[in-house]
Amino acid sequence: MIYYVNDEAQKNGDHEVHTATCFYLPKSKTYLGDFASCKPAVQIAKKKYPQSNGCFYCSKDCHTT
């Protein structure tokens, strides 16, 4: 699965990590890589945006509130 991180933060400061096929994939995004699960994708995203979080819809296993 290809993962991206949103370059724009949510209102709470989170940068959401999405799969390439997610309905909520933003226009302004950074390519993270091809991973078997969202967990390594979020780890990579956190190097760029320390407050990264999995998308509730496509990466629910990595979504924290």
Closer residue to Zn ion in complex, CB, 4/47: 4
Smallest gap from Cβ 42 to Zn ion, in A, equals: 12
SS3 content of the chain, % helix, strand, coil (to 5): 20, 30, 50
Which residue's C-beta sits nearest to Zn ion? 55
d(CA 23, CA 4) in angstroms, rounded, equals 13
Q: Segment 13-42, which members bind Zn ion (CB under 5 A)?
A: 18, 22, 24
Q: Which residues make up the interface to Zn ion (CB under 5 A)? A: 18, 22, 24, 55, 57-58
